[in-house]
Structures are given as structure tokens and as C-alpha cells.
Amino acid sequence: MADPRGFLTVRERQLPQRRPVPVRIKDWREVYEEQERGELQRQAGRCMDCGIPFCHQGCPLGNLIPEWNDLARKGEWDDGIERLHATNNFPEFTGRLCPAPCESACVLGISQDPVTIKQVELRTIEEAFEAGTVVPEVPERLTGKTVAVIGSGPAGLAAAQQLTRAGHTVAVYERADKPGGLMRYGIPEFKMEKSVLDRRLEQMTAEGTRFRCGTEVGKDITGEQLRQRYDAVLLATGATVPRGLPVEGGDLDGVVQAMDYLPDANRVALGETVEDQILATDKDVVIIGGGDTGADCLGTAIRQGARSITSLEIMPQPGEQRSPAHPWPTYPMLFRVASAHEEGGDRVYATSTKQVLADEQGKVRALRLVEVERTEAGGFEEIEGTEREIPAQLVLLAMGFLGPEGEGIVEQLELETDDRTNIARDGSYLTNVPGVFVAGDAGRGQSLIVWAIAEGRSAARAIDAYLTGDSTLPAPVRPT
């Protein structure tokens, strides 16, 4: 039972400190310092167990938030992690990376700032790792059924762990050299150190999940071969097709997709050598797009020693032109303030790119911009007389992703796509091909880690039921 008056004694929401900017931009380590345990517990005590925990609904995983908030308050970490793992395979990922829709839904937010749910989640799992209680959960018996999971991002990993623990023999195929999906090669170390990913992968390997990295399905092995070899196949291949810059000069040398820039930086941050790395060092950098990807480019370019960085956002400045139904900063989610934004760079709002200009060698030298305003119809129109040029030797495109790749396995298996070009599925995550399922960004479109985990868990239940006729695994979300 939570302390129903806790929020009256601890009124102020306290988050852990971020390391000082001048210190943290000299390295790639995570930005946040650990919060003092007593303070974290006091913060957990602000959860009043309000009776109708909207936070459950806010969280796609249906996390049992008031339960583990109270266990953290009392320091009962072993029970806390048991309740947390009941709904989330990877709280160490969401505790670091989730934009925490649960906190937006927290009832305390009506009169005070919401409970620091994400921090309590993170601390609960970190206490468990420290105490050595995150151990492999090896299934008691094997079903004899086999599953191929294609893609090792959060959706693929969550499904693989659920299915392995249910006794199926699971192989995860990944075209990259190491598993993790965007959590390894997209998201930088300063948001989540890769050792966090690796210790979870160790647990999964010990449980029996097999990883086949460096294997591109559709090229190194066909979709049909996988179908013949396995009883079920799950596509968790992500939404990897990036949006381009459809203006004159949008394909010049020096205009680079974020996901061509970030992976190399991540490798180098971990001590690897990368030939012909795209670097921001000593360059005027322009980042187009203001979501997570743009923020990650910003933090990376700062750490590489860019001369100047300008982040362009077509959306108006926070607070401007927003209706009460869509208040800043909770809407839209793609336009958030990240730790990187306090590290440097300029943010330019309500601005669109008209042209990318080249130097004599054909390389990008500048961008021609124009200010825009919202139209009644919800679009944007240019404001006359506001055109200007800014210097740029590196332009990073972070304007979102259009969906999964159409060629390769999608083509081979003749998978149908929906009207948003995502892989189509029914209410059980099943595609038009028998025994082939899809979860995560590949089916949902560009989204969030918490949704990928939730879909991975739900698809695992659907696959388990397909293989055995029934399932006791949880299904937190239905496909949309």
C-alpha cells in the first residue's frame, strides 16, 4: 500500500543531475549521474497509488507502476524487479530511453509535477543487476518448435526472449555484426552505453537464444529457406528507409542521412577504427529534423568538435501556434527537448530548406532557408522576404523514416504492405504469408522502443499460440 500522503510531504519532483556540459562533451559516456538512493526512494513515495492508475494506460507495456513505485519506496528491490520484469523484458532500455508517456499520464501531474516513474524503473533494474538477481531463465522443457526472428532491435529481442523462455528454439538473424538494432548503431553511447545492451544479450544467450549476426535475410539466406527451416518466422526488421531532402542540391556530396553518420560515430566511440568516417570536426553542421535522431546527431557533432551546429525545425517554436488540445511539450512527441540541446548548437524553428548550394568541387557549402508559417489547413507556407543563406559543409538529414525496405525479404516472400508502406498484418501480427509474423517499426512504422518491446511481447504470444494452439504469454498491445 503506497503512502497516500507522500506527495504532500515530498512536493518537489527531483531528477538525477546531468554531468556538467563542459565535462560530458569530452567523452561519450552517459549523461546522467546516479541519483542518491534515499532521494530516489523519497521520489518514489510521491506515488499515491491513486486508484485509477492512468500511468498503466499511458505505458504501452502496461507496467504495474504504482506497485513497483511503492516497493522502491520501501527498498524492497527484489520484489520490485519481479513486478517490473512481469511486464517489461528490458527496463534498463526504457528507463534510459523512453520519453515516458506514463509520466504524462500520471495523476499527480494535475496539481504537481508527475512522479519520476522512469527513474524509479531504471533504479529498480540497476539494483537488480548489481545484486546479481538478473539471471538466465532457462525453460524447463523444450517444445521442439523453432522460430526465426529477423532483426535484433527491441522488438526482435523482446519476442526472442519471450519465445525462448516459452521453450521454443529461437534464432535471431541480424545483418549487422552485433545485435541491438537502433539501440546499438543509432542511439549514441551518451544516451545508453552499449555495455547495458551487452549484459542483457549475455542473459539471452545463456537462456538459449541463438544470434546469427552478419546474416542478411533476403541476401545471405532467402525468406523461403527460413520458412522451410523454421516453424514460424518473425520479421522485426525496423523502418529503415529514410526520408530524403526533396530540394535542388538535396543529394550533394556532404548531405548525409543520420543513419549513415551515427553508426560510424558509435563504433569509434567504442574504440573501433572506421575508414572514411563522416566527421563533423571543424565543420559548420546543419541538422534537418528535430526528433530523437536530430538530437543524437547534435550530441555527436558536438563531441566531434563541429565549428557550428544549426538544428532546423519546420515546426514553430514551443508554445507558438498551439491549440489547447495539443499543448507543448507533450504534443507532438517527435519534437522534444533532449539533453543534447543544452550542450550547444542553435535551434531554428519554423524554417524550411529551399536549396542546398555547392562549392566549386560540387560539395555542399551552404543552405538557402526560408521562414514558414502554419496555414489554416494545417500545412506550412513560406513567408515572403525571409530567405537567407547559412554556411554548411555537412548537412545531416534526420527527418524520419518512411517504413521498411521493399526489396529483399519483403519482395521474396511477396509480403503485402499497408497504405503507409509498412508490412501489413492482421490482429495477430500475422502477415499475408502463413507462419510469417511482423512486429515493431517494420509493421507499425517509425515509433519508440517501448512500443517495439510491447509489440515484440505481443507477437511472441501470437506465435506461441500459432505453434502450440494456445498461449499463456502476455499481449500488452494489439497491432495498429
353: CB partners within 8 A, 6+ apart = 245, 247, 288, 312, 367, 368, 369
Among 44, 65, 196, 262, binds ligand FAD (CB under 6 A): 262
- From 119-127, 181-189, 198-206, 348-356, give the range in contact with ligand FAD by CB under 6 A: 181-189
Q: How far is the CB of 260 from ligand FAD (least distance, A)?
A: 11
Instruction: State how far the Cα of 325 lies from the Cα of 378, in Å rounded to an integer.
Output: 14
Rg, Å, the chain Cα set = 23
Nearer to ligand FAD, 262 or 462 (CB): 262
Binding mask 418-457 for ligand FAD (x = CB under 6 A): ----------------------xxx----xxxx-x-----
Among 237, 266, 304, 431, binds ligand FAD (CB under 6 A): 237
Torsion over CA: 264, 270, 274, 276 (sign)? positive
Q: What are phi and psi of 255, to 5 degrees?
A: -100, 115
- Helix (H) or strand (E) segment spanning residue 308: strand 308-312
Binding mask 31-70 for ligand FAD (x = CB under 6 A): ----------------------------------------
- From 104-112, 244-252, 290-298, 359-367, give the range in contact with ligand FAD by CB under 6 A: 290-298
Q: Does 289 bind ligand FAD (CB under 6 A)?
A: no
Q: Does 467 bind ligand FAD (CB under 6 A)?
A: no
Among 47, 55, 64, 155, binds ligand FAD (CB under 6 A): 155
Nearest to 309 by CA among 276, 335, 281: 281
Among 137, 216, 231, 371, binds ligand FAD (CB under 6 A): 216
| Contact assessment for residue 68 and residue 83, using Cβ atoms and an 8 Å cutoff | yes
Nearest to 89 by CA among 479, 478, 473: 473
Nearer to ligand FAD, 207 or 405 (CB): 405
Q: Does 186 bind ligand FAD (CB under 6 A)?
A: yes
244: CB partners within 8 A, 6+ apart = 250, 251, 397
Count of residues that bind ligand FAD according to CB under 6 A: 39
Count other Cβ atoms within 10 Å, centred on residue 144.
10
Q: What is the DSSP letter of 151?
A: -
Q: Does 293 bind ligand FAD (CB under 6 A)?
A: yes
Instruction: State how far the Cα of 135 lies from the Cα of 290, in Å rounded to an integer.
Output: 39
Nearer to ligand FAD, 237 or 353 (CB): 237
Binding mask 98-127 for ligand FAD (x = CB under 6 A): x-----------------------------
Nearer to ligand FAD, 258 or 309 (CB): 258
Three-point CA angle 453, 456, 459, nearest 5°: 150
43: CB partners within 8 A, 6+ apart = 10, 13, 14, 35, 115, 116, 119, 120
Torsion over CA: 163, 167, 173, 178 (sign)? positive
Among 2, 71, 97, 366, binds ligand FAD (CB under 6 A): 97
Q: Does 256 bind ligand FAD (CB under 6 A)?
A: no
Nearer to ligand FAD, 151 or 345 (CB): 151
- From 131-139, 215-223, 347-355, 378-386, give the range in contact with ligand FAD by CB under 6 A: 215-223
Q: Does 477 bind ligand FAD (CB under 6 A)?
A: no
Nearer to ligand FAD, 166 or 295 (CB): 295
Nearer to ligand FAD, 137 or 405 (CB): 405
**CA 352 from chain center: how many Å?**
26
Q: Does 176 bind ligand FAD (CB under 6 A)?
A: yes
Q: Does 238 bind ligand FAD (CB under 6 A)?
A: yes
Grid coordinates in use for 73?
519506496
- SS3 assignment, position 67: helix
Q: How far is the CB of 405 from ligand FAD (least distance, A)?
A: 7
Instruction: State how far the Cα of 103 lies from the Cα of 325, in Å rounded to an integer.
Output: 18
Among 181, 254, 290, 479, binds ligand FAD (CB under 6 A): 181
| Contact assessment for residue 213 and residue 177, using Cβ atoms and an 8 Å cutoff | yes
User: Where does this chain bind ligand FAD (CB under 6 A)?
Assistant: 97-98, 150-156, 173-176, 181-182, 186-187, 191, 216-218, 236-238, 258, 262, 292-293, 296, 408-409, 440-442, 447-450, 452
